[in-house]
């Protein structure tokens, strides 16, 4: 998202159509050290490339005389490197406002530890080390609020302290040392959305304008095994336009994406082998990108047990009465086997279990005249 000029804006450079300040300030390129390019751009289609031989300069104006008041200098930076100046602590000078050595009202330096140094007259604060990650876009904001300076990187405070000095009007120089205005201490990299404001834009951690916020990851993912399939369910994420389903045969991944842009909060994976354990994660997608992985869920599909058919066993006894039993085929076959094998008194009684409420019924071999089996059709 491109910044817009408001009542607090002192300077604003988009770098879309040259070195044009939206507030009307006039900037000039020094030592041919800056060019507008589309090679990198955080916002819009272009940024300013600083080639470590010079920078851009604007004359002093009254609107940068902050005195003891609040102000903010913020920008997007894609730092590649630069000419670190050993005379001033091995630093790259990003922002300098001096007209002679030692007269800078405000200065911002990057040192060789990838820290940020924020100076006002006679006072300075330094961020923690390694806060500037080279070769990628980083949002930096140097803010003074009620005399306290804070350095924010990607919206997170990385250093603060007393910066309560008086600031008079000063010339502006971006990209190198402000006094010789040449390659000494000059930076190499890309700059986008450079802004100076006469207000403390942020006083606590924030999400930088133009930052893409990834959607939330799905939660409560479950995997339910079936016969040659696994059914996945998860909690829907507000604002999701779809979900990607990923799978592995190893706990913790790596995962292979097996379905993209799934519209609902469930998915049935039918490309599985019974007896194999599968591990799943799901991600949310929307216009801002893809979320982190959900929790992992696993399942092992198994073949469904074969349901046994049933039959009707009709037995006619000597007294002409009949007994009728609805039984699984295996039990009917067991009865037939008993009939065929019974030849002595030791095995002349057959027991039917669970006839009514767990009761048993006994039939004597010698009482049986005949029997027949009737298959039952599936309902």
335-368 tens-digit pLDDT: 888 777 765 545 677 776 655 555 666 667 777 7
pLDDT at 344: 54
The pLDDT of residue 63: 92
Average pLDDT over every residue of 224-241: 94
Tell me the average pLDDT across 271-297.
94
Q: Which residues contact 84 (CB under 8 A, 6 or more apart)?
A: 90, 91, 92, 111, 112, 185
Between 21 and 324, name the one with better pLDDT. 21
| In the predicted structure, residue 213 carries a pLDDT above the cut 80 | no
Helix (H, G, I), strand (E, B) or coil at 141: strand
**Of 72, 118, 69, nearest in space to 93 by CA:** 118
pLDDT one-digit tens code per residue, 74-98 = 999 999 987 776 666 666 778 887 6
Closest CA to 371 of 346, 337, 330: 337
Q: What is the mean pLDDT of the chain?
A: 86
When the candidates are 2.30.280, 2.40.50, 3.30.460, 2.30.30, the CATH number that belongs to 310-375 is 2.30.30
Which residues pair with residue 123 across a beta bridge? 120
Q: What integer pLDDT is reported at residue 373 of this predicted model?
A: 76
User: Between these two residues, 181 and 333, which has the higher pLDDT value?
Assistant: 333
pLDDT grade for 70, boundaries at 50, 70 and 90: very high
CATH code at 219-299: 2.60.40.10
219-299 has the same fold as 9-197: no
Backbone angles phi, psi at 272, to 5 degrees: -130, 165
Better-scored residue on pLDDT, 136 or 319: 136
pLDDT at 190: 96
State yes or no: pLDDT of 193 exceeds 90: yes
Most confident of 23-32, 100-109, 298-307: 23-32
Q: Which is more confident, 44 or 102?
A: 44
Kindly state the percentage of the chain with pLDDT values over 70: 86
Per-residue confidence (pLDDT) for residue 183, from 0 to 100: 61
The pLDDT value given to residue 36: 95
pLDDT at 331 (0 to 100): 84
The pLDDT tens digits of the residues spanning 101-143 come to 555 689 899 988 899 999 999 999 999 999 998 999 999 999 9
Token output for 265? 């909060």
Q: Quickly name the fold that domain 9-197 has.
A: Jelly Rolls (2.60.120)
For the residues 17-43, what does the mean pLDDT come to?
Answer: 91
How large is the average pLDDT for residues 290-315? 86
Cα–Cα distance measured from residue 331 to residue 335, given in angstroms and rounded to the nearest whole number: 6
- From the list 13, 374, 31, 319, the residue with the least C-alpha distance to 186 is 31
pLDDT at 295: 96
Question: Which helix or strand (DSSP H or E) is residue 187 part of?
Answer: strand 187-197
Q: Find the mean pLDDT for residues 320-329.
A: 83
The per-residue pLDDT for 88 is 60
Which of 167-171, 179-183, 204-208, 308-312 is least confident?
A: 179-183
Q: What is the model's pLDDT at position 335?
A: 80
Q: Identify whether the C-beta of residue 8 lies closer than 8 Å to the C-beta of residue 22.
A: no
Confidence band (pLDDT; 50, 70, 90) for 230?
very high
Of 219, 228, 224, the C-alpha closest to 267 is 224
C-alpha dist (Å) from residue 112 to 82, 102, 134, 180, 198: 10, 21, 12, 21, 30
Q: Where are the domains of the chain?
A: 9-197, 219-299, 310-375
């Amino acid at each position: 998202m491109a910044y817009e000029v408001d009542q607090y804006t002192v300077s604003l450079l988009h770098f879309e159509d040259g070195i044009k300040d939206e507030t009307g300030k006039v900037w000039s390129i020094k030592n041919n050290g800056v060019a507008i390019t589309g090679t990198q751009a955080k916002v819009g289609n272009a940024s300013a490339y600083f080639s470590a031989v010079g920078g851009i300069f604007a004359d002093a104006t009254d609107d940068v005389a902050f005195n003891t008041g609040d102000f903010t200098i913020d920008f997007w930076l894609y730092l590649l490197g630069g000419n670190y100046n050993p005379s001033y602590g091995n630093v790259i000078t990003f922002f300098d406002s001096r007209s002679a050595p030692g007269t800078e009202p405000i200065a911002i330096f990057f040192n060789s530890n990838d820290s940020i140094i924020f100076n006002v007259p006679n006072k300075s604060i330094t961020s923690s080390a390694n806060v500037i990650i080279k070769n990628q876009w980083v949002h930096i904001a140097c803010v003074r609020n009620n005399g306290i300076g804070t350095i924010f990187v990607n919206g997170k405070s990385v250093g603060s302290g007393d910066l309560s000095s008086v600031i008079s009007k000063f010339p502006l120089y971006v990209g190198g040392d402000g006094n010789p205005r040449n390659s000494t201490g000059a930076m190499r990299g890309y700059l986008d959305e450079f802004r100076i404001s006469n207000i403390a834009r942020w006083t606590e951690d924030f999400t930088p304008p133009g930052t893409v916020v990834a959607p939330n990851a799905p939660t409560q993912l479950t995997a339910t095994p079936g016969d040659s399939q696994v059914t996945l369910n998860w909690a829907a994420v507000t604002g999701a336009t779809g979900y990607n389903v990923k799978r592995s045969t190893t706990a913790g991944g790596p995962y292979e994406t097996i379905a993209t842009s799934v519209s609902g909060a469930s998915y049935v994976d039918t490309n599985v082998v019974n007896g194999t354990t599968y591990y799943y994660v799901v991600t949310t997608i929307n216009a801002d990108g893809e979320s982190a992985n959900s929790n992992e869920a696993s399942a092992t599909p198994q073949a469904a047990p074969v349901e046994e058919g049933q039959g009707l066993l009709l037995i006619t006894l000597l007294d002409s009465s009949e007994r009728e039993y609805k039984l699984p085929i295996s039990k009917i076959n067991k009865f037939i086997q008993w009939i065929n094998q019974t030849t002595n008194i030791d095995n002349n009684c057959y027991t039917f279990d669970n006839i009514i409420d767990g009761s048993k019924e006994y039939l004597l071999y010698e009482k049986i005249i005949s029997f027949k089996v009737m298959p039952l059709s599936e309902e």
